[in-house]
């Protein structure tokens, strides 16, 4: 049997959208040994304020991921801008492996760069500054030391603020910056990039050092689930409704 590799992102799992949680659980349950690797490229959760937060569906998702890794599917998680506070306890409870913000894998012989995608949105200067602050270990330690109720309230505050901010920003600012894309492709000497975050599923072609490069943008899980599946013969998009 040929191996399959799955890529998903931007499920934004939250108590408010139980259908997406159900769809994701059904999807995990359907995976068998023909899928060797599952890569979750960020924003699996709509918010993550610490591994001790028992708000549904956190525990259910952890259990389902643990069952999947126990079945022999290797699961990787690359943090998004919503769930970058996922920590050691989550990974040890699920046996999911944490990836760095820019991770290069060998995908059936082609070096492929994996990212969440937010780092590529360099036109959104305000967000990049916010990102720098919130990725500082001291900032994170300070936040995580606060009582759970306080962290939940803070998250609520950030969510509202980010919602208001987005309204004022043009569509271009919210998308990736072409120069930033070319920059990472060059930096990692790759001809393929897979990312999510923008919720603008597409396949783009770029030219890097006079060579063609391809960029796959994953879809968010909204009214449907979406999976980019690779096998030896190529890729296909699977839609789950
Ligand atoms: Mn995102």
Ligand 1 ion local residues (Cβ < 5 A): 43, 80-81, 197
Q: What distance in Å separates the CA atoms of residue 122 and residue 127, rounded to the nearest whole number? A: 8
Establish how many alpha carbons lie within 13 A of residue 55's alpha carbon, considering only the half-sphere containing its beta carbon.
17
Question: Architecture of 4-240 per CATH?
Answer: 4-Layer Sandwich (3.60)
pLDDT in tens, 112-144: 999 999 999 999 999 999 999 999 999 999 999
First to last CA, the chain: 26
Q: pLDDT at position 160, please? A: 85
Q: How far is the CA of 155 from the centre of ligand 1 (A)?
A: 15
pLDDT score of 28: 97
pTM of the model: 0.96
pLDDT value at position 172?
A: 76
| Domain boundaries of the chain, sorted by first residue | 4-240
In this prediction, the residues of the chain whose per-residue pLDDT falls under 50 are none
Q: What is the pLDDT of residue 238?
A: 97
One-character DSSP codes across 141-205: HHHHTS-HHHHHHHHHHHHHHHHHHHHHS-TTTTSPPHHHHHHHHHHTT-SEEEE-SS---EEEE
pLDDT for res 129: 96
Distance between Cα 2 and ligand 1 center (Å): 31
pLDDT of residue 176: 96
């Amino acid at each position: 049997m040929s191996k399959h590799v799955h890529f998903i992102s931007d499920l934004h799992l939250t108590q408010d959208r139980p259908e997406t949680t159900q769809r994701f659980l059904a999807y995990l349950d359907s995976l068998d040994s023909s899928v060797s690797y599952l890569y979750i490229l960020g924003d699996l959760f709509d918010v993550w304020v610490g591994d001790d937060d028992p708000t549904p569906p956190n525990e259910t998702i952890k259990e389902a991921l643990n069952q999947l890794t126990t079945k022999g599917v290797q699961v990787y998680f690359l943090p998004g801008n919503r769930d970058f506070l996922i920590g050691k306890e989550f990974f040890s409870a699920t046996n999911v492996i944490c990836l760095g913000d820019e991770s290069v894998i060998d995908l059936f012989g082609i070096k492929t760069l994996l990212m969440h995608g937010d780092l590529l949105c360099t036109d959104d200067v305000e967000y990049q500054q916010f990102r720098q602050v919130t990725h500082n270990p001291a900032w994170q330690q300070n936040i995580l030391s606060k009582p759970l109720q306080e962290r939940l309230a803070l998250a609520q505050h950030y969510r509202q603020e980010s919602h208001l901010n987005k309204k004022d920003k043009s569509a271009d600012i919210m998308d990736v910056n072409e120069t930033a894309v070319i920059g990472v492709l060059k930096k990692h000497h790759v001809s393929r990039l897979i990312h999510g975050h923008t919720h603008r599923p597409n396949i783009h072609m770029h030219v890097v050092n006079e060579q063609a490069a391809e960029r796959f943008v994953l879809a968010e899980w909204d009214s449907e689930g979406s999976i980019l599946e690779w096998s030896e013969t190529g890729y296909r998009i699977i839609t789950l409704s």
